[in-house]
Structure 1
């Protein structure tokens, strides 16, 4: 009953003061027929700047008193629900209607704010995440938006190595772990972050199932893990296990997950794993994966880790090294140490 179902419902609440001078605020002000008479943002650097033909202010009550606004639109990002509720209460207290986009904090779960709006005789509406559409298509859907983590903007102080691959089950977890082990044996203070709930084998400093999160939250989870481990261990190097592949055929669903982990890792160097003659996956291949990784993130693929479980000719390493111009190793047979040399040399060059 609180969902916006048409643009006319928004237009009928004109004019608006809009909270949030980012993508959400701009989108809302660009709706056809929407009249914005003021903008509010908590960011001091934005205040006083022009935004969508208005000057950004800091004091909502002051702007409401100076304008003919009938409503307040709260367009803040995930992670700012507390701030959004504060502004909603302030707007209602001033007798103004409220349109929200809380996503992970739906109005229906805020009985107190519903009662407050009813007592003040104002309209309280939210822009739906339209999970009803997904439910109509599939017969099931999450009860609410699953994106809940705040967006992080953090630049790691430690060299980061991402371990990707051409498919699922190609050796990413093993390669990440053995690189960490090789680094520890060299006396480096290494951290290994596994993004799989099966990442129990040592060495591992942290493991979580990235696939359990909304893809929109995965990058933040990885960035947050890096920041946390830097604060806890002050490492010399961090290895991050990827999931699936950016290019694998046959099973496209985890490819977004793979991209999100890579983006969150912001790696200095990357290793690509590959399993020749994979019995139940359809890798597109090393060349495709290397191009995709380096196009998505400003990183460099510096070596290959080959899973030779389905290979009888052990000279395959030389063939791959010659074909792709990259060091190719079998990490299960001493190759992790060579791969670590390549990584250290490359990071040193940076």
Structure 2
């Protein structure tokens, strides 16, 4: 049975630190989202604020207002923030404990594992609620080392990578998955972060919480399991951070573990500096393409835009400029859909036509 869930995103809904909440509002297979907590947008429709389309999921001032107006305590309280800080603030701890006192299960994807915190352990036992630390890896004895068996997978594997954190890699990959499925293909989506797992995606690994020795093997393993069970026509892989980002290594492990056959590059043209690293300039698109192609030995087939701070005219102008400058198909999937991406992928992998695409 689908559980109802309230998302906590105080002060950050629609922005970069609120990417988990943003993703859940757009897409959730596991939970029925009933609202968002962010006092800055209290009383407004979350879909209208995020994408300009009403979804009837309201934003509430605080936890008390949300439960009062909903008329019923939701099953789950999802911590929808993904900040750079590793630990919960005092205010965030308090609201989570309040949610537990109301009888809500806690879903959280931070690097701080609250299943190891005595105060939260006692609260969960007292209130008979569960805590899910989405990023918490399995014990090492259950983790997988790299085998190289991924080389035997002949199904097209498309990686959606980016030029920074929080640029929309997962969103583009999921939109593309929906578009291919609408045309009759069976898609295997492989998540690589906590948001995809919270959204209810069946296959994935929270890569940035994994011990480095097991990163490549765990990612390879989840793809092999998905192929064995689902027998897909195409595999779509969510990237993490950026190949060029000095603070993260996830992309390296994802490429090694998945051995993609082609890449889509997601980029926010208006972003000047890396998320949470104001001293680091964003890379040039051409530099990131060269880096990805050199490391993976496969082509970047398309550029997809994150249109933050862009008008529709700027989006169209940028698409034209990029296609001329880089000779690579470019689009904005949230604005224009995925038809151009599907065309360029089919052109690269013509056997997909045998799957009777409409």
Q: If the TM-score is normalised by the length of the shorter chain, which range does it land in?
A: 0.5 to 0.7
- The correspondence for 2:210, drawn from 203, 210, 213, is 213
Q: Describe the SS at the equivalent of 2:321.
A: helix
Name segments (4+ residues, structure 1) moved above 2 Å.
Answer: 144-151, 200-205
Question: 1:88-145 CA distances to partner (integer Å, 9 max, x unpaired)?
Answer: xxxxxxxxxxxxxxxxxxxxxxxxxxxxxxxxxxxxxxxxxxxxxxxxxxxxxxxx99
**What is the alpha-carbon distance in structure 2 between the residues aligned to residue 332 and residue 295 of structure 1?**
29
Whether 1:253 and 2:250 are equivalent positions in the alignment is no
TM-aligned CA deviation for residue 343 of structure 1: 0.9
The number of residue pairs the alignment matches comes to: 203
Deviation at 1:147, TM superposition (A): 11
After TM superposition, give the deviation of residue 149 of structure 1 in Å. Answer: 2.8
1:258: Cα distance to partner? Answer: 1.1
What is the Cα deviation at residue 193 of structure 1?
0.8
Aligned partner of 2:304 in structure 1 is 305
2:267 — aligned with what?
274
Q: Is the 8 A contact 2:145 2:213 kept in 1?
A: no
Q: Which segments of 5 or more consecutive residues in structure 1 lack a partner in the other structure?
A: 1-143
Q: 1:262 to 1:268 in 2, by over 3 A?
A: same
> What stretches of structure 2 of length at least 5 have no aligned partner?
1-138, 275-280, 353-358
Residue 204 of structure 2 contacts residue 222 of structure 2 at CA under 8 Å; is this kept in 1? no
Q: CA deviation at 1:172?
A: 0.6
Match of 1:284 in 2: 283
SS at match of 2:226: helix
Task: Summarize the alignment of residues 65-84 of structure 1 with structure 2, pairs less than 5 Å apart.
Answer: none
Distance (whole Å) between structure 2 residues aligned to residue 316 and residue 276 of structure 1: 8
The RMSD of aligned alpha carbons is: 2.4
- CA distance change for structure 1 residues 145 and 236 in 2, over 3 Å: closer, same or farther? closer
For 1:199, what is the secondary structure of its paired residue?
Answer: helix
With structure 2 as the length reference, what TM-score do the two structures score? 0.53
User: What residue in structure 2 maps to residue 128 of structure 1?
Assistant: none
Distance 1:299 1:244 in 2: 19
- Asked if 1:157 is matched to 2:154, the reply is yes
> 1:147/1:167 Cα in 2 relative to 1: closer, same or farther (>3 Å)?
farther
Distance 1:346 1:333 in 2: 24
C-alpha distance in 2, partners of 1:159/1:304?
18
Match of 1:336 in 2: 338
TM-score relative to the length of structure 1:
0.54
Task: Identify the match of residue 192 of structure 2 among 185, 192, 195.
Answer: 195
Structure with more helix by fraction: 2
Q: Residue 205 of structure 2 contacts residue 222 of structure 2 at CA under 8 Å; is this kept in 1? A: no
Cα distance between partner residues in 1 of 2:198 and 2:320: 29
Partner of 2:178: 181
Task: Give the Cα separation in 1 of the matches to 2:261 and 2:194.
Answer: 25
- Contact 1:181–1:203 (Cα < 8 Å) also in 2: no
Query: Aligned partners of 1:148 and 1:233: how far apart in 2?
Result: 21
**Residue 231 of structure 1: aligned partner:** 228
Query: C-alpha separation between the residues in 1 aligned to 2:351 and 2:263?
Result: 15
Distance (whole Å) between structure 2 residues aligned to residue 183 and residue 203 of structure 1: 19
Report the Cα distance in structure 2 between the residues aligned to 1:201 and 1:286, rounded to whole angstroms. 30
Deviation at 1:237, TM superposition (A): 0.2
Give the distance between the partners of 1:145 and 1:200, measured in 2 at CA.
20
Q: Which has the larger radius of gyration?
A: 1
